[in-house]
Structure formats: structure tokens, C-alpha cells
Structure 1
Amino acid sequence: MLKEHAKLMGVFAACGEVIGRKKLQKIIYIAKKISFPFQEKFEFHFYGPYSEELTLRVEELCNMEFIDEVREKKGGYYQYRYTLTEEGEAFLKHTEVDIPHLKETVVEMNSQSARFLELVSTVLYFDTLTREEVTEKIFTLKRKQRYTEEEIQEAYGYIEQLKTQLQ
């Protein structure tokens, strides 16, 4: 029943701390797109791929006291910090969720900015299009982010780097 919850808890265990709801959404989406077995469904939203299922699962984990969510005021907005609790660690010890390469991959993604992960996840969301079409989508849908051609190329390189680490 809690297998999908345990996978998510494994991400928190690996990262130690994830700062930001948007960053968490992008880490899980990118992991799913590069072949990790996450089951959440994603739709394109204001900040790129977004999963209501993931939001609900995180809320459930907070309610079960398996992860801790700390809300901090940052200027004009709130930022959320997520960490695994002792109860969460104890639960994870009794579940068999072993996903090869997950730890190093999510730790690597967690070291990136939420802005960059938003770009990477957007590139992956439109992966059936040509690079030129993806670039056009980004310049249109993400106009306010002011991504450059160089950043888009960097995103493609990062995706390849992540996929190479899995081989």
C-alpha cells in the first residue's frame, strides 16, 4: 500500500533535505522521465510539469509524520523544507525499496537550482518535439524566466549526463 510513499521517502533519505515544492516536483518528474519507477501522473502547469498525486502523497507523509515540512517566509513568498523524520527512517528500514542509482541521481539534481530543474523538466516534457520546437515552446511558455539558448543547450547536456550515469 505504501510502496509509492516509500519510494518518495527514499528521495528525502538520499537528499537529506529538499528545499522547495517546485524543486521536489521537478526532481521526481525528471527521475521518472529518465526511467526511475515513479508512478505519479504529471501535467504541464505554470512552473512546468506538476503532479497533484505527488502533492497529495507529500501531504500524507507529513500527516503520518514520516517527513517534516517546515514553512519559511522568504520575502514575499513561502518556501518549504522537507526532511525525513526518525519515524520515516524507521519505516524505511522495514520496507524493501531498492532503486539502483536513485540516491546519486537525486542528490545530483537536488544540488541544482529550481529554475534550472524547471527548464530541464520542461525540455523532457516536450521530448517528442524537435530541439527547435522545444526551444520555441520554452521561449513562448517560459517567457518570464528569460531562458537563453545556452541554458537550453545546458539542459539537454544535463539530461544526457543523468542518463549516462544510469548505464
Structure 2
Amino acid sequence: MLKDHAKLMQALAASGEITGRKKLQKMIYIAKKITFPFQERFQFHFYGPYSEELTLRMEELCNMGFVDEVKENKGGYYQYRYTLTETGKEFLSLNEIDMPCLEDCMTDMNEQSARFLELVSTILYFDSLDRKEVEEKVHTLKKKQNYTGEEIDQAYAYIEQLHQKAKPHA
């Protein structure tokens, strides 16, 4: 019943702590697009791919006491930090989800900025288009972010790097 919840908890456990709701959304979306079996549905939203289901699941995990959400006032806006609670760790130890290579990918993504993950997730959202069309979408939909050609190149290289990390080592 809580298999999808446990997958999110596994991702959080692999990350240690995730700072920011936007970052959490992007990390789960990117992990799903790479190969990991997350079930949440995403739509394109103001900050790129967004899942209402993911928001609700995280809320449920907090309400069940499995995830700790700390709201910090950053002067003008609030930032949220997510960590697994001891109860969450106990639950996860009894309901382990086998996702080889998840920790490497989540740790790596967690070290990136939310802005960069927004670019990466936007590129992945439009991965059915050719690169030129994707770049046009990025420049149109993310105009205010003012992404450079170099950043777009870095995002494509990063996606390839994550694909490599996600492959189980034989």
C-alpha cells in the first residue's frame, strides 16, 4: 500500500536532506526520467515539471511522522528542508525498496543548484523533441532564467552522466 511512499523515502534517505520544495520536485522528476520507478505524474508548471501527487505524498509522509519538514523564514520567502525521521528510517528498514544506483544519482543531484535542476528537468520534459526545438522551448518558457548555451550544453552532459550512474555496475 505504501510502496510509492517508500520509494520517496528511499530517495530522501539516499539524499540525506533536501532543501527546497522545487529542488525535491526536480530531483524526483529527473530520477524518474533517468530510470527509477517513481509513479508520480508530472505536468509542466511555472518552474518546470511539477507533480501534485508528489506534493500530497510528501504531506502524507510528514503527517505519518516519517519525514520531517522544517520551514525556514529566509526574509521574504520560506524555504523547506526535508529529512527522514527515525520512525521513517525504521519503516524503510522493514520495507526496503531495491533501487540500485539511486544513492549515487540522488547525492549528485542534491549537490546541484535548484536553478540547474530546473534546466535539466525542463530539457528532460521535452526529450521527445530534437535538441534545437528543446533549446527554443528553454529560451521561450524559461526566458527569465536567461540560460546560456553553455549551461544547456552542461545540462545535456549532466543528463548523460546521470544515465551512466543509473546503470548497475556489472
Range class of TM-score, shorter chain: over 0.9
User: Any stretches of 5+ residues in structure 2 without a counterpart?
Assistant: none
**Displacement of 1:153:** 0.7
Q: Distance in 1 between the 2:164 and 2:96 partners? A: 26
Moved >4 Å (runs of 4+):
none
Query: What percentage of aligned pairs have identical amino acids?
Result: 70
Report which stretch shifted further, 87-96 or 55-64: 87-96
**Displacement of 1:15:** 1.1
**Displacement of 1:74:** 1.1
The answer for the alignment partner of 1:108 in structure 2 is 108
Q: Distance in 2 between the 1:94 and 1:164 partners? A: 29
SS of 2:44 mapped into structure 1: strand
The answer for the alignment partner of 1:142 in structure 2 is 142
Alignment of 1:9-158 (within 5 A): 9-158=9-158
**Displacement of 1:38:** 0.3
Per the normalisation by structure 1, the TM-score is 0.98
Q: Which amino acid aligns with 1:75?
A: G
Q: Distance in 2 between the 1:126 and 1:104 partners? A: 24
User: Any stretches of 5+ residues in structure 1 without a counterpart?
Assistant: none
What RMSD in Å do the two structures reach over aligned CA positions? Answer: 0.7
**Displacement of 1:156:** 0.3
Q: Distance in 2 between the 1:74 and 1:45 partners? A: 24
Give a deviation string over 1:13-42, Cα, whole Å, max 9, x none: 111100000000000000000110000000
Q: Which amino acid aligns with 1:26?
A: K
Give a deviation string over 1:40-89, Cα, whole Å, max 9, x none: 00000000000000000000000001000000011211000000001101
**Displacement of 1:96:** 2.9
Q: Which amino acid aligns with 2:29?
A: Y
